[in-house]
Amino acid sequence: MAIRAFLLCIILFSSSYTSFALYEDQVGLMDWHQQYIGKVKKAVFQTQKAGRKRVVVSTEENAIAALDLRHGEIFWRQILGVNDVIDEIDIALGKYVVTLSSGGSVLRAWNLPDGQMVWESFLLGSKPSRSLLLTPTNFGADKDNVILAYGNGCLHAVSSIDGDILWKKELAENGIDVQHLVHPEEGDTIYALGIGEASQFEAYVINVRNGELLKHSSKGFTGGFSGDLSLPTSDKVVVLDSSKSSLVSISFVGGEIKFQEFQISDLQGYSGEAVLLPSKLAGMVAIKIDRSLLFVKLKDEGTLEVVDTVPHVEAVSDSLSFAEGQTAFGLIQQDGAKIQLTIKSSNDWKSHFLKESIEFDQQRGLVHKVFINNYVRTDRTYGFRALIVMEDHSLLLLQQGAVVWNREDALASIIDVTTSELPVQKDGVSVAKVEHNLFEWLKGHLLKLKATLMLATPDDVAAVQRIRLQSAEKSKMTRDHNGFRKLLIVLTRAGKLFALHTGDGRIVWSRLLNAFHKSGTCESPRGIKLHQWQVPHHHALDENPSVLVVGTCGHNSDASGILSFVDAYKGEELNYLAPVHSITQIIPLPFTDSTEQHLHLIIDSEGYGHLYPRTPEAVDIFQKELGNIYWYSVDINNNLLKGHVVKKNCKEEIADDYCFESSDLWSVIFPSDSEKIIATSTRKFSEVVHTQAKVNADQDVLYKYISKNLLFLATVTPKAMGDIGSVTPDDSWLFVYLVDTITGRVLLRMSHHGCQGPVHAVFSENWVVYHYFNLRAHRYEMSVVEIYDQSRADNKDVLKLVLGKHNLSAPVSSYSRPEIMTKSQSYFFTHSVKAVAVTSTAKGITSKQLLIGTIGDQVLALDKRFLDPRRSLNPTQAEKEEGIMPLTDTLPIMPQAFVTHALKVEGLRSIIAIPAKLESTTLIFAHGVDLFFTRLAPSKTYDSLTDDFNYALLLLTIVALVISIFVTWIWSERKDLQEKWR
């Protein structure tokens, strides 16, 4: 009896592990977080002093990071806003990292050891210009602290100690493009050099102490200039003339401008265009023609001489001066997978310090940038290491002929994500390696038992935590019963495709797609979308799943498109089509062919639809459904919404059998003087809805209006297009629409007075939630609209249901006039929002949570129940039982509801919810500069025991029970016997 009660208690306790939030020791059990920085733009090494060797980099994701040179780990990282592009980076005073950003208008200093911001200065100027940064090192002891920053047409001298602006000088008043700031070895003067509008060379001589303009000289050049100035020495610049056949060296010492022109005969031999490289090489300039580099030496008297021509050069570093006034620079030659790094001396072309050849995997493409650094070897000679940035945005450190470390920083710029199931575990496939044997399993559980019963030593607790984190179960390469293990296929801006394992986030494979290589026909390839192409599940199980990568060659809508098909298990590019017709829209159709390939209709810029896969079978399937395929287009520029239907094959002379014409069906026109489209949202194509009926507290039934063809659209008055606060509430309107995309019916048009964008919306089942700014209340708001179907409301009559006189099984047609009812409510929400998503589960039974990416780069899970339009001030008892909460004006933000717990997903861009096979659970993947993945159970895991469930304890209890039964039985037998003997 007592034991039974004890057992009951134990089961109750052990099942109460499912909790509202995460416990501290559960962090990292089912979530992972990866930090990236993005493609490196500039790098500065900090290796002079003892201590940790590091390199400070600025990246295209607007991150500043200090990386460990030994392992490539991030010491610290700061990510600036999306619009705060970092232009220049340098180190000042040996302890501050100085960055110039936002087109030269913000200058910041960061503490080198820990990345804390020390000071920040706003540099105001009149007009946009290029931005330059000069941190002189040898002004003498008293002036060591001046930083010169040029931006927005103004030269500023800023104290590097506290960021005070010492003086300011306007330089760009005559449209002069200042390109260099030069500080000669000695003296108090600096030069600002540039090219004027009339192709004249301009030199300003400025006193560093007070910003006084000592001399301004300018001299025109008859041949004209093309391209930028190159600065090989501190007293001469070199520039190409406008015919690009000769070089001009310009001496500007003391403001005296002298031109010297040199025909370069070697330039004639090449067909390509000559480009002067911006690399700063001591005493030399490099000219790039046709992948070959011409090195031209600048002599003291100002004459130029071609030193050498090196073929296949991909990148050249700036020159680096090290001990005894020696300078060196690195250059990278690439031939396929082989990379040759040469460190040459600037003084003596014949000799080189280093020549290393490294081979590594082809999936990185070409070398884009190289930065070099020197160190002292154990034998007191100089060694060099090189940091190289590859075409796929990865960062590698080369030292002693080997790759010391690499970072896959392409993952900082994910464009699109899709998932793929892992292969099914087959009998032939052995997974024994990753599985524990029975003894270890038992040992693990015994440890857990000890921890549960509070008998464990700290060592044991650590061991338990280690076992939990390294659970081999979650990183297996086979499909699991619950559907937690999947491959995340991500497309990055570099055109590289990665497959990440959901268990631990490791890269399973990566591929730089051939289709996305730059070529003559495709100038700037970029990816747009990923689609599941082949998902074998019924009769094509032997085939691997594959994904379709869609890209385009340019930024115009009529640029030709790229299609690439990639095997999701191996990462092999099966096939690619490039360049093809332009791509404006990709419509996945709900049909598959006999090999489980999904049919896709791709709409080009002229409104023709192209069917993929290009097989006769696909055309047959498509022809059968020809009249039932509709699509819509949103024209933001013209404020138009248009509906189209696919009609017939294109005319013979235009294209092949796979091309289809469409005709316009409907149009909705927003008056351009009063409305402007700012956001659209539709339901997810794959979303599952469990039930259409919603039972009220008063035993009434509401029928959800569930249509896959609803579009949510938001418009604002054109005045309200600007930033928040740029318009008065009276002039600002926000209109929201619900449009049926088959017939063009506007089901709802609702206005919010005094509100403005940005609007973030999410559409799911029969509701849409959107986030906007309320100017009257000076707060952000979230509104919900729920749509109910009134045409089915008659079905509540039981008698009718019994007699079969209901319309529940009748096919739904968009051409029937919808009888809908909408309910709506607005609530204040404290945060501004970066992205909104909603959880989705396999069968749609589990209640939903909204996933809100906050401005603080965290993901907040908010129960949909808070956004229920039926919330009232004093809900009745029945309504409370239904789960309706009392009305509040603000949505609550509970600290425990942050899915990302203590972590930040820097630069959050998008949140994706993927249903697991287990109904209660959904997988969440959030990406920005960082990646974050976790599992979420919005209604708790009601359909399974948690991973933490202690089977050993259960087993032990059962064993103990059985033993106790036997013992008591024996006791009672014995007692009986004794009694009988008496």
Residues in contact with another protein by the rule CB under 8 A: 1, 4-5, 8, 627, 640, 645, 663-671, 674-675, 735-736, 739, 743-746, 748-753, 774, 777, 781, 783, 791, 810-813, 815-817, 824-828, 873, 877, 880, 886-889, 979, 982
We find the least distance from the C-beta atom of residue 585 to another protein, in angstroms, to be: 20
Residue pair 655/602 in contact by the 8 Å Cβ criterion: no
Q: Which is nearer to another protein, 43 or 833 (CB)?
A: 833
**Can you tell me the distance from the alpha carbon of 111 to that of 133, in angstroms, rounded to the nearest whole number?**
18
We find the least distance from the C-beta atom of residue 73 to another protein, in angstroms, to be: 47
We find the least distance from the C-beta atom of residue 496 to another protein, in angstroms, to be: 43
Q: Which is nearer to another protein, 261 or 889 (CB)?
A: 889
**Can you tell me the distance from the alpha carbon of 481 to that of 424, in angstroms, rounded to the nearest whole number?**
10
Q: Which is nearer to another protein, 764 or 826 (CB)?
A: 826
Q: How many CA atoms lie within 13 A of 869 on its CB side?
A: 16
Q: Which is nearer to another protein, 20 or 815 (CB)?
A: 815
Q: Is the dihedral of CA 808, 813, 819, 820 positive or negative?
A: positive
Contacts 24+ apart (CB under 8 A), 219-222: 219/257, 219/259, 221/248, 221/259
- Conformation bin of residue 102: beta by default, left when phi > 0, alpha when psi is -120 to 50: left
- Residue 764 CA, chain-centre distance (Å), reads 24
**Can you tell me the distance from the alpha carbon of 743 to that of 643, in angstroms, rounded to the nearest whole number?**
7
Q: Which is nearer to another protein, 750 or 970 (CB)?
A: 750
**Can you tell me the distance from the alpha carbon of 456 to that of 504, in angstroms, rounded to the nearest whole number?**
27
Strands (E), 724-766: 733-740, 746-753, 755-764
**Can you tell me the distance from the alpha carbon of 577 to that of 565, in angstroms, rounded to the nearest whole number?**
9
We find the least distance from the C-beta atom of residue 719 to another protein, in angstroms, to be: 14
Q: Which residue carries 């940064």 as its tokens?
A: 133
We find the least distance from the C-beta atom of residue 280 to another protein, in angstroms, to be: 56
Residue pair 711/732 in contact by the 8 Å Cβ criterion: no
Q: Which is nearer to another protein, 3 or 693 (CB)?
A: 3
Q: Which is nearer to another protein, 402 or 626 (CB)?
A: 626
We find the least distance from the C-beta atom of residue 334 to another protein, in angstroms, to be: 54
Q: How far apart are the first and last CA of the chain?
A: 29
Q: Which is nearer to another protein, 149 or 678 (CB)?
A: 678
Q: Which is nearer to another protein, 246 or 791 (CB)?
A: 791
We find the least distance from the C-beta atom of residue 101 to another protein, in angstroms, to be: 38
740 has which bridge partners? 710
We find the least distance from the C-beta atom of residue 739 to another protein, in angstroms, to be: 8
* SS3 assignment, position 792: coil
- Residue 821 CA, chain-centre distance (Å), reads 39
We find the least distance from the C-beta atom of residue 889 to another protein, in angstroms, to be: 5
Q: Which is nearer to another protein, 21 or 810 (CB)?
A: 810
**Longest Cα separation, the chain:** 134
We find the least distance from the C-beta atom of residue 19 to another protein, in angstroms, to be: 19
Q: Which is nearer to another protein, 299 or 778 (CB)?
A: 778
We find the least distance from the C-beta atom of residue 718 to another protein, in angstroms, to be: 14
**Can you tell me the distance from the alpha carbon of 509 to that of 522, in angstroms, rounded to the nearest whole number?**
26
We find the least distance from the C-beta atom of residue 747 to another protein, in angstroms, to be: 8
Structure tokens at 519: 């070529």
Three-state SS sequence of 353-391: EEEEEEECCHHHCCEEEEEEEEEECCCCCEEEEEEEEEC
Residue pair 491/925 in contact by the 8 Å Cβ criterion: no
Nearest to 96 by CA among 135, 67, 63: 135
Q: Which is nearer to another protein, 560 or 791 (CB)?
A: 791
Residue pair 954/962 in contact by the 8 Å Cβ criterion: no
Residue pair 405/53 in contact by the 8 Å Cβ criterion: no
